[in-house]
């Protein structure tokens, strides 16, 4: 069975839809899949079960708290990038954005009602992400910082609803122009997020065993073993 490379997939879409349409669709779908990978790691670490959260807290509670916040906000930014207006700025400073809204220009005036309905649903499901982007992540709202206003609530359920609305646009385009469907749930290799969790679990088990060995060496006055067990390479322990 032959394996289709990313470049093969891009060329195939361009051959079917043309350079602009096919290239834009491919790039947008790939950006979305990459965003889904970030979301999958987030869910696996922080939204699967309490035991995993406990494992992360044991490894480094502060560090993984920061990772949780950063990953969640990165996903909100990704949602905004995929759904931004086609153009931003004014006059000479106007800039083009690669966004799902850009696909409308390739509909050639068709499917007006269907597209309008999908965009209305999209906007309803991404407003929370835009609020976070505009007033908290990309900018620091004075009123928000002073507690005079609140952000629109953000939740994992809202992220999933936003993803559904984005995927509906991709599915619609593929059905109408390619007569095909696509699975957007990322398929990763063996070195996925579960592998990371396994390594953390194994590391904490080794740390526990080392601590027991340290205590035994100290109680027995075996200071050579004690120093050997507690030593770490400088490249590991150096702090900036």
What residue spans define the domains of the chain?
6-186, 188-240
Q: Is the pLDDT at 125 greater than 80, yes or no?
A: yes
3-state helix, strand, coil in the chain (%, to 5): 75, 0, 25
Q: Do the Cβ atoms of 101 and 28 come closer than 8 Å? A: no
Residue with tokens 């080392």: 210
Q: Do the Cβ atoms of 125 and 165 come closer than 8 Å? A: yes
CA distances from 190 to 5, 43, 122, 237 (A): 19, 18, 34, 29
Q: What tokens were used for 218?
A: 């100290």
Q: pLDDT digits over 34-79, tens only?
A: 999 999 999 999 999 999 999 999 999 999 999 999 999 999 999 9
Q: Is the pLDDT at 132 greater than 70, yes or no?
A: yes
Q: Do the Cβ atoms of 74 and 38 come closer than 8 Å? A: yes
* CA-closest candidate to residue 125, choices 185, 184, 82: 82
């Amino acid at each position: 069975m032959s394996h289709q490379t990313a470049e093969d997939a891009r060329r195939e879409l361009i051959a079917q839809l043309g350079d602009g349409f096919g290239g834009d669709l491919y790039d947008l779908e790939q950006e979305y899949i990459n965003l889904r990978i970030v979301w999958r790691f987030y869910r696996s670490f922080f939204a699967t079960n309490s035991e995993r959260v406990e494992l992360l807290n044991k490894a480094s509670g502060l560090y993984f708290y920061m990772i949780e916040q950063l990953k969640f906000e990165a996903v909100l930014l990704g949602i905004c990038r995929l759904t931004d207006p086609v153009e931003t700025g004014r006059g000479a400073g106007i800039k083009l954005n690669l966004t799902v809204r850009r696909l409308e220009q390739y509909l050639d005036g068709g499917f007006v009602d269907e597209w309008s309905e999908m965009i209305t649903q999209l906007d309803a499901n991404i407003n929370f992400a835009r609020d976070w982007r505009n007033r908290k992540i990309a900018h620091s709202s004075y009123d928000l910082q002073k507690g005079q206003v609140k952000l629109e609530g953000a939740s994992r359920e809202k992220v999933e609803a936003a993803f559904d609305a984005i995927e509906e646009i991709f599915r619609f385009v593929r059905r109408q122009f390619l007569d095909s469907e696509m699975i957007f749930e990322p398929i990763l290799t063996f070195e996925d997020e579960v592998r990371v969790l396994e390594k953390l679990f194994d590391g904490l088990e080794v740390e526990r065993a080392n601590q027991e060995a340290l205590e035994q060496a100290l109680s027995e006055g075996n200071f050579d073993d004690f120093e050997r067990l507690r030593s770490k390479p400088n490249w590991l322990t150096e702090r900036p």
